[in-house]
Amino acid sequence: MRLLVLGGTVFLSRAVAEAALTRGHDVTVVSRGASGSPPEGARHVVADREAPLPVELVETGFDVVVDVSSRPSRVRAALAQLRPAHWIYVSSLSVYADDATVGGGPGTLPLHEPLDEDSDDLADYGRLKSGCERLVAERASSHVIVRPGLIVGPGDRSGRFSYWIDRMRRADEAETVLAPGDPSDPVQFVDVRDLGDWIALLAEHRTAGTFDAIGRPRPIGEVLDEVAAACGARPR
């Protein structure tokens, strides 16, 4: 399989590239080369997605493209240049306008109104992802949409989960570490390595459809107890 990862040097897109390489596929990654280095064994093409993709990429004839962008202009341009490929678009649970219904998912929950033009306002993130989803659905020859929630693991720069690891490591035995909400409040997350491997599997099978990509709900108190134990800190 000839796989093109638009990105491929940071966090999830890198995990996808690494997983595909481990499975023996021909992997090309595209980035500006400013945020990270490509995985060993991948072909690295330096490009800025604000401009048209290099001709060498357009003429290669990739089997599958993985795209994680939240900017409609970039997704639109890539779809136009790489149309024959099967498209894997990594979206987000943020596309859902309803985040309160338990057990909801693709086909059962309403989505935010798609935004078709780029925006740097973080409040527009869900609408941007929704807009990119619509572009992929309308213009890709075949596609799968993956909607992750909280992704954790090596390379996470958000601090949304790694904060707790760092905080527990700094806690002494007599210290109480504050946590949000109630210990029984559910949380869900997925390891970036598991998600990367699953996306590589979707690519191999040219899977079509729309899927949420998240772990089973667990009480936040239980999760933080396990983090504390792993860090040698006292549980709550």
Tell me if 73 is assigned to some domain: yes
What distance, in Å, lies between the first and last C-alpha atoms of the chain? Answer: 48
Chain mean pLDDT for the chain: 94
Q: Are 18 and 196 within 8 A, CB to CB?
A: yes
Task: With respect to residue 224, please indicate whether it lies within any of the assigned structural domains.
Answer: no
**pLDDT at 235 > cutoff 70:** no
Return the H-helix or E-strand segment holding 232. none
Does residue 34 form part of some domain? yes
Q: Is residue 223 part of a domain?
A: no
Residue 144: pLDDT over 80:
yes
Give the tens place of pLDDT for each residue, 76-116.
999 999 989 999 999 999 999 998 898 899 999 999 999 99
Looking up tokens 């599958």 gives: 64
Judge whether 120 lies within some domain.
yes
Give how many domains the chain has, as a whole number. 1
Q: Supply the range of the domain harboring residue 45.
A: 2-155+189-217
Residue 52 lies in a domain: yes
- Residue 28 near residue 4, CB atoms below 8 Å: yes
**CATH number assigned to the domain comprising residue 71:** 3.40.50.720
**pLDDT of res. 102:** 86
The pair of three-digit structure tokens given for residue 109, joined into one six-digit string: 């929950």
Q: Determine the length of the chain.
A: 236
Q: Domain for residue 170, yes or no?
A: no
Angle made by CA atoms 110, 190, 123, in degrees to the nearest 5: 45
